[in-house]
Amino acid sequence: MKRYSKHLILTGIAITILGTALGLLASPAGQAAQNGEANPAVTGTPVVVTNTPLPIRGSVSVQKTLVNDGMFFSVTKPSGTDPSLTVPNGVVLTDAHVTFSLGENFPNSASLFIHDFANGKTYVYEIVNSTTFHAGVDLGSGILSTGKLTVELSCYNIAGNQCQGALMWSGYKP
């Protein structure tokens, strides 16, 4: 009996495979493939997708007004004043950058700071790179200014006493 049951199982599998293959060939997609045509299931009516905006509850506004400021500086040390920009009240600071046009190959010759004098915090202290003559920071969440937030460059180890370049910040007003 065991010998016959193995033959019955193998015969059943062979019939199932043959039936599936014949069914595929008899289908419209199979007939099109035999004739070298495109699959009718794929070349049917085009689908149009329409996006419907979701309703927003309350008075949520996502519009922002971009704000920025920048300046060229040329400071002679030791008596010159370091360049500084104040971020206006209510503006969210998102980034600050400085670039030297007269770079110094001396390490630690200048630093970029972001200070909040209202609460006595220094958020950023970054050394200007002595190879690229650049320093900068991108703040993912931003810093809300209360009117005393400043972006400042400090030139302190300059050979030749000349510190020259551009300082800038950008942000948005919610």
Provide the residue ranges of all domains of the chain, joining segments of one domain with +. 2-34, 65-173
pLDDT tier at 31 (50, 70, 90 boundaries)? Answer: low
Cβ contacts of 116 within 8 Å, gap of 6 or more: 122, 123, 143, 145, 146, 148, 149
Condensed to tens digits (0 to 9), the pLDDT of residues 145-155 reads 998 999 998 88
CB hemisphere CA count around 104 (13 angstroms):
19
Model pTM score: 0.59
Confidence band (pLDDT; 50, 70, 90) for 99? confident
pLDDT of residue 102: 64
| Amino acid identity, position 140 | G
Name the architecture of domain 65-173. Answer: Sandwich (2.60)
For 50-77, what is each residue's pLDDT tens digit?
Answer: 766 666 666 655 578 899 999 998 888 7
